Amino acid sequence: MKRPNAAGTVLRALAPLVQKMTELEQLALDRQAMSVVQMGRQLTEAALEAARRAVELLLDQAARSAPTSMRCSCGGQATSDGFEHTSFVMRCGRVQLDRRRVSCDRCQHTEMPLDKAWSLPEGEDADDVREATERLACRLGYGEGIEELEKLWGVAPKSTSTAQGWVVQDGGRFQQAVRQDAQQHWDSYVEQQQAVAQGEQREVERQPGFGVVEADGVFVLTWKQGQEPRRKIGQSSATEIGQSDLQSPVSELSDGVLRHQPPSTLSQLQGSPMGPKARSERVRGREVCVGLVYLGEHACELSPGHGVLLERRYVVELNDRESFWPQLHAAAAAQGVLARQQLVWLSDGGRYFIDQSAELFQDQLLVPVLDIQHANQHVWETGHKLVSDNKAVSGWVGPRIEAIKEGNSQGMLIDLAEQRELRKGSEQRKAIDALSGYVQRHKHMMDYPRYRQAGYPIASAAIESTNKRLVGRRCKQGGMIWGERGLEAILALRAALFNPGAWTRLWPEALAA
């Protein structure tokens, strides 16, 4: 039977650190010197070793002092079967431990009380390693993330398949929690509005100012069900692909694919979908719904045409529009957008998004705004269809874009009607009719002088930047084709990483450490 060691035994773990500090002090007294970076590295290594040894001694003391018997939940008596050895990897290195296993004489249930009490990891790696791996995998490729963690900490998971499995598990778990919280918020909000309508509750007084809600859709390539490929390389060196992403090692810190990359992963696949005939029938594009909410005062202009959002909240959902809208409403509430007097809805004019926003925010003073760049794009497309000389297109487009900028949509409709009478070809008339219909449908969203005076955004630069930051930089690099579970999980984790407080909620103990 192992008995607890004497109190203060854990202080022996400080010996390597004390020795290193004494050596460095003596170096200074001898008027010798070294790089401050080198000194910091040596002290850090000694401190990590001291921490690793302290963890082992503390857990050993806890294991030795644990009772040899305990009451089981079934009412029987659970007694110790002796000590079993285990080890795991955490930030400070590999920890070795012997702890008791107890077995119930009635129900035959066995467990490790110390594992439960001290939240020991069930697998090889502790939560701090798992959290850091997933955080790096959200920004880099899986392989790059593991390499970077190995350089920074000296510890990392053994394979990319381990990191991929963690991402799928934790990303799926977090996304499910977000959906449940959003649905609870929506149910509570509906109940509150019903109480206000029936006079049972006073309506909340709104604060001055405005909030902004934007939404868009991005398509990402995924494998069709059952079409995920397998690598040609041997089983011993192959990485499990399954629901993983297939990618060249690119970083989100770069705007495009790195210039000097190894051959694409797709070249190692049987029946590669990327060839002379472009996309294979095994691949399909899946829509990622992206939402952005922020308060008007948090949008700051750094220079003409360039701005920054000081605070914002993201929403992302893969191929599930019905689940997206409650999440967007919950994000707007959490960011304080619903408590403002006006809610600005900036969109590209898509009928579906306009109708859904009108229904979702029907209790708000909604100010719908058409993205001015989208409107200008329609004018340019029409100009190219009407004017054969590319150099002369700008002459036709310029006055119409100026009319849009000045909010003169009615004058533009009259001008287009006159232009139609001057055109003889049916194709040109169809182009003018399409532009006229577009302006007619959205003229209530094109009062740009009033929007600018009120400080409302009139261009979708923020949501376009969100598409790139949240989705494009990690999920749409060259050669990437995803499994749906892996894509959904990595998107959920990236949203958690960028949303205030969300990542801490996912990893409360790991980050508290």
Q: List pLDDT tens digits, range 385-400.
A: 998 888 889 999 999 9
Q: Which pLDDT does position 26 carry in this prediction?
A: 94
Residues 6+ away with beta carbon under 8 Å from 113: 66, 70, 100, 102
Confidence band of 171 (pLDDT split at 50, 70, 90): very high
Q: Is the pLDDT of residue 147 over 70?
A: yes
The residue type of 19 is Q
- Please name which of 84, 90, 17, 4 lies closest in space to residue 55, comparing C-alpha atoms: 90
The encoded tokens of residue 52 equal: 């690793």
Q: Which pLDDT does position 6 carry in this prediction?
A: 82
Confidence band of 230 (pLDDT split at 50, 70, 90): low
- What are the DSSP calls for 67-97, one per residue? -SEEE-TTSSEEEEEEEEEEEEEETTEEEEE
Give me the sign of the Cα torsion angle 76, 77, 82, 85: positive
Query: In residues, how long is the chain?
Result: 513
Q: Is the pLDDT of residue 264 over 60?
A: no
Owner of token pair 């000194």? 39
pTM of the predicted structure, to 2 decimals: 0.83
Higher pLDDT, 245 or 130: 130
The encoded tokens of residue 476 equal: 């749409």
Average pLDDT on 323-333 reads 95
Residues 6+ away with beta carbon under 8 Å from 273: 266, 279, 280, 282, 283, 481
Q: Is the pLDDT of residue 454 over 60?
A: yes
Confidence band of 244 (pLDDT split at 50, 70, 90): very low
Q: Which pLDDT does position 224 carry in this prediction?
A: 87
